[in-house]
């Protein structure tokens, strides 16, 4: 259904590339049929008479894309943050994901998860479910009703996993194809292939998922080079592979429709492969700190032209806020610059904001900016300050994002031009 043209008025911010943020004081964002017409300091005559929603001094910016989040892990956020990855998975993650065989429990958790995600700065997300198809459909139903736009994946695991989460290869592939076909009727919620990571997926399973990807033209999400112990484990499991990234690429699972989370320890040849395949990296700074995984070389990703966005990685990341992810991305990059490679400057605020909006949004198409023709994902938030308003608009944006955890609530949220609240 074609939407009418309308405008939002306030202090408007958006990236034009990884280096630059445009800032427009008390200006108009014009939206038509779910897409951006443009940003104007004075409303052009051709738009006279359209509906205008005036948000006063509030900040108007693109909705943010969370490229990596685990919905089943919502109940144990903030637990086990003194463990490393593999111990944390066995202690918390796998026992929790076992519970999603119980559909009543799944419904209860996914209600809470969807409510929290809807209230957050996120307008689009790429989400891991569990191995359970019925529970994954419950999650998709709730996300579809929320108005958010998401990808959701039924997880695949046929080896090196607890017995209660280990599928047979045949069962995993069969259930995945059932899930794909049952997901066809959703408008906003789309299926994505989700091998958990190479240690939990046999070569036969990876090969089968590659065939499903080709058959249904589907995207892929997984994990890559998150933790030193994991990287060494993959080397032992796959001695004939060129590197960790090759364990996906050899089965056709690495291309411009692929998101690999973390990528903390990529080798030079893996950098080149990621760039060549135009794959996306989901940088998850809080998760990498909490599980002591390391600090990803994000500046190098950007300089090499690799597609990179941000992920909250709930529950290894304890917060669903992409504002927090922006601040953490800048913080950890400073630690990398100071202690690991002082020849590569840390991220700027502009670069981190870009990754949260335009960089990650690119996975969904023309998303994450207010350039003309972009899909109109918009969040509106009250300005945050320390009692004195900054004169410079970009300082107001930076300060508001850094102070956003102090009980801030969004004023409004739009996804593809449709108002969510």
> Could you give the CA distance from residue 31 to residue 370 in angstroms, rounded to a whole number?
10
How does strand 378-381 pair with strand 194-195? Answer: unpaired
417: left (phi over 0), alpha (psi -120 to 50) or beta: left
* Confidence at residue 374, expressed as pLDDT on a 0 to 100 scale: 98
Domains (ranges, CATH) in the chain?
A: 6-62+369-419 (2.30.40.10), 64-364 (3.20.20.140)
Helix (H) or strand (E) holding 137: helix 133-146
pLDDT in tens, 223-259: 999 999 999 999 999 999 999 999 999 999 999 999 9
Point out the residues of the chain with pLDDT beneath 70. 1-2
Helix (H) or strand (E) holding 103: helix 103-119
* Confidence at residue 408, expressed as pLDDT on a 0 to 100 scale: 84
DSSP 367: B
pLDDT in tens, 340-367: 999 989 999 999 999 999 999 999 999 9
Three-state DSSP state, 404 = coil
* Confidence at residue 216, expressed as pLDDT on a 0 to 100 scale: 98
Number of helical H runs and strand E runs in the chain: 15, 17
Q: How many CB atoms lie within 10 A of CB 327?
A: 21
Record the pTM: 0.97
* Confidence at residue 2, expressed as pLDDT on a 0 to 100 scale: 57
3-state helix, strand, coil in the chain (%, to 5): 40, 25, 35
Q: What are the two backbone dihedrals, phi and then psi, of residue 235, each rounded to the nearest 5 degrees?
A: -60, -40
């Amino acid at each position: 259904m074609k939407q009418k043209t309308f405008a939002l008025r306030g202090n408007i911010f958006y990236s034009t590339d990884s280096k630059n943020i445009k800032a427009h004081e008390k200006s108009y964002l014009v939206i038509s049929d779910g897409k951006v017409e443009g940003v104007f300091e004075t409303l052009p005559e051709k738009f006279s008479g359209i509906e205008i929603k005036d948000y006063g001094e509030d900040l108007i910016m693109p909705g943010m894309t969370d490229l990596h989040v685990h919905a089943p892990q919502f109940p144990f956020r903030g637990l086990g943050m003194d463990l490393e990855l593999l111990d944390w998975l066995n202690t918390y993650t796998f026992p929790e994901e076992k519970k999603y065989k119980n559909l009543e429990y799944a419904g209860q958790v996914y209600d809470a998860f969807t409510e929290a995600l809807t209230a957050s700065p996120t307008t689009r997300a790429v989400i891991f479910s569990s191995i359970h198809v019925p529970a994954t459909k419950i999650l998709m139903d709730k996300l579809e009703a929320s108005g958010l736009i998401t990808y959701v994946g039924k997880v695949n695991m046929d080896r090196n996993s607890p017995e209660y989460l280990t599928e047979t290869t045949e069962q995993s592939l069969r259930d995945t194809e059932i899930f794909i076909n049952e997901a066809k009727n959703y408008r906003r919620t789309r299926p994505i292939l989700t091998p958990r990571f190479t240690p939990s997926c046999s070569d036969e399973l990876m090969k089968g998922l590659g065939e499903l990807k080709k058959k249904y033209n589907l995207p892929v999400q997984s994990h890559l080079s998150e933790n030193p112990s994991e990287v060494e484990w993959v080397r032992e499991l796959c001695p004939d592979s060129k590197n960790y990234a090759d364990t996906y690429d050899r089965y056709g699972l690495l291309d411009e429709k692929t998101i690999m989370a973390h990528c903390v320890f990529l080798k030079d040849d893996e950098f080149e492969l990621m760039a060549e395949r135009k794959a996306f990296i989901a940088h998850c700074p809080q998760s990498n700190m909490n599980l002591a995984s390391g600090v990803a070389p994000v500046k190098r990703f950007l300089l090499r032209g690799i597609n990179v966005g941000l992920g909250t990685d709930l529950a290894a990341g304890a917060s669903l806020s992409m504002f927090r992810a922006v601040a953490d991305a800048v913080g950890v990059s400073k630690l990398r610059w100071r202690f690991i490679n002082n020849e590569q400057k840390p991220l700027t605020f502009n670069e981190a904001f870009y990754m949260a909006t335009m960089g990650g949004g690119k996975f969904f198409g023309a998303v994450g900016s207010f350039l003309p023709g972009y899909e109109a994902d918009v969040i509106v938030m009250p300005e945050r300050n320390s009692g004195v308003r900054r004169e410079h608009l970009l300082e107001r944006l930076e300060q508001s994002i850094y102070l956003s955890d102090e009980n801030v609530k969004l004023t409004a949220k739009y996804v593809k031009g449709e108002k969510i609240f």
